[in-house]
Structure 1
């Protein structure tokens, strides 16, 4: 099977770059059924780079089925800290590394290079689970001097991805948080979150929990190619409804917004989500850090060859002429006229539909940590 390099899509040494001028785009590589990434490029820290070569027979290779493999991550801690000034939390939990949802645009893909794997197909098929997550969490929350603040879950990889049905790490984490009165904010694009309504609803009634559902598109065909193993759009709307009816504050995240692919759906997504029960909303512009740029370019060439150049041109117009701009307070929303137009559309739609401008803060005063050293534990 000829790879992108052999077909001439390399420009100035950049994998996945489009050919210059008005040259026709060659067909993309053969796809793996049910996977988002088109290829499996070598991680950027590896000493050797793999390249697919055309063997000259003119026939595509038969690809073996790509099965999901789950490895154990023997983490010593489970809470990750950050000091980013443009996000509203300073700590998070990622029960899994990698994500089977296979969202081609996922900004977390480059993290797989840290463990010697590819940010491409490896990221969605070679996963890591932290089976001791709940135990480690309880130990960390019980340390003397721990100060509670909202724990964000789902900010890197989805905690309710398909393997959660088997491992149930999120359920264990929520049991610990509920028992200790610790606030939690969850982001997911999976309807599996409704499994834990029995834990989330009591926490929400005390001001300890909220959930955001990511709805990228209402087009089932687009969703299947862009995020192949995530819940279908109608199931996400149903999850919003179930969470709202259970008294759990729920918001909708239109993320990411990809110009000329799903930006036309902004208002419709906000309307449907509000009808289902979402009362807060937010959005994130498509981000293309490191390998994500090439993976998204390959995906565009394969699925939307007639739009690929236009989409990338619009992205660069919102990133100061570059594929990505990582500056604080601009990486999420971009700059320039097109980015301002998206921001204004989102703002006007929220006002017209009736979304809240900001949701109430979760409580931290109910936290029950480790007993003080002078306290004597009760026998009963």
Structure 2
């Protein structure tokens, strides 16, 4: 409960807070998030990658399912706590599809999230990461490793061929539904401290 203890200190001193997670366990501390948000600002940041729950278990093992994370986002909204969703990673040839993006966007719309962060449709592979990733491809997606090697070689950045179309799709849907989009926009929002302490006007009577 180290995170909860940190939130208790933040709440006590009136600071703002944001937590980035893939776990619905953050629900345990929703009372503190609400208390912090009532006085200053609290934002939940949640990662979503795929609406396919079976695929989620493969590419994001040992974390909450996408449905559980969606339910968490909804609960935070009901408590009046804003949330930001990270779309990442998107694996070329696996979850970089319009169907997947539209499914994730529907979750975001239904949960009434505040903003979406998505740098690109794709992923990055450092040395060491690449070897592990390719081993997992061999384990779960036979012959996919060869497709990656043929398409990307040893590139650090593996951009989906669908990136431009899907990024446009995300932008259009966000604009339609009033969801903040654009990395700079969302990061600026996250860094804004919004104190909710009532300021006295010249005509307020001091008790």
Task: Answer whether contact 1:257 1:283 (CA < 8 A) is retained.
Answer: no
Tell me the residue number matched to 1:347.
171
SS at match of 2:124: coil
Q: 1:282 aligns with which of 103, 117, 132?
A: 117
Q: Is the alpha carbon distance of 1:233 and 1:335 closer, same or farther for their aligned partners in structure 2, counting shifts above 3 Å?
A: closer
Q: Does residue 362 of the first structure (1) align with residue 192 of the second (2)?
A: yes
SS at match of 1:252: strand
Task: Answer whether contact 1:209 1:248 (CA < 8 A) is retained.
Answer: yes
Q: Does residue 247 of the first structure (1) align with residue 43 of the second (2)?
A: no
Which one has a bigger Cα radius of gyration? 1
Tell me the residue number matched to 1:189.
22
Tell me the residue number matched to 2:42.
209
**Alignment partners' CA distance in 2, 1:362 and 1:266:** 28
Q: Is the alpha carbon distance of 1:188 and 1:312 closer, same or farther for their aligned partners in structure 2, counting shifts above 3 Å?
A: farther
Q: Is the alpha carbon distance of 1:308 and 1:352 closer, same or farther for their aligned partners in structure 2, counting shifts above 3 Å?
A: farther
Q: Is the alpha carbon distance of 1:305 and 1:197 closer, same or farther for their aligned partners in structure 2, counting shifts above 3 Å?
A: same
**Alignment partners' CA distance in 2, 1:309 and 1:353:** 40
**Alignment partners' CA distance in 1, 2:31 and 2:88:** 27
Q: Which structure would you say has the larger RCO, counting Cα contacts within 8 Å and 6 or more residues apart?
A: 2
SS at match of 2:106: helix
Question: How far does residue 338 in structure 1 lie from its aligned partner after superposition?
Answer: 4.5
Q: Does residue 292 of the first structure (1) align with residue 116 of the second (2)?
A: no
Describe the superposition over 1:315-354 as per-residue Cα deviations: whole angstroms up to 9, x where unpaired: x3xxxx64215xxxxxxxx769654334323222322343
Describe the superposition over 1:146-181 as per-residue Cα deviations: whole angstroms up to 9, x where unpaired: xxxxxxxxxxxxxxxxxxxxxx11001111111122
Question: How far does residue 192 in structure 1 lie from its aligned partner after superposition?
Answer: 0.5
Q: Does residue 171 of the first structure (1) align with residue 4 of the second (2)?
A: yes
Task: Answer whether contact 1:213 1:253 (CA < 8 A) is retained.
Answer: yes
Q: Is the alpha carbon distance of 1:281 and 1:312 closer, same or farther for their aligned partners in structure 2, counting shifts above 3 Å?
A: farther
Task: Answer whether contact 1:207 1:362 (CA < 8 A) is retained.
Answer: no
Task: Answer whether contact 1:181 1:208 (CA < 8 A) is retained.
Answer: no
SS at match of 1:251: strand
Q: Is the alpha carbon distance of 1:248 and 1:170 closer, same or farther for their aligned partners in structure 2, counting shifts above 3 Å?
A: same
Q: Is the alpha carbon distance of 1:340 and 1:278 closer, same or farther for their aligned partners in structure 2, counting shifts above 3 Å?
A: same
Larger proportion of helix: 2
Task: Answer whether contact 1:182 1:364 (CA < 8 A) is retained.
Answer: no
Tell me the residue number matched to 1:324.
156
Task: Answer whether contact 2:15 2:40 (CA < 8 A) is retained.
Answer: no
Q: Structure 2: give runs of 5+ residues left out of the alignment.
A: 197-207
**Alignment partners' CA distance in 1, 2:115 and 2:50:** 17
Q: Is the alpha carbon distance of 1:312 and 1:216 closer, same or farther for their aligned partners in structure 2, counting shifts above 3 Å?
A: farther
Task: Answer whether contact 1:209 1:362 (CA < 8 A) is retained.
Answer: no
Question: How far does residue 200 in structure 1 lie from its aligned partner after superposition?
Answer: 0.4
Task: Answer whether contact 1:211 1:251 (CA < 8 A) is retained.
Answer: yes
TM-score normalized by the length of structure 2: 0.79
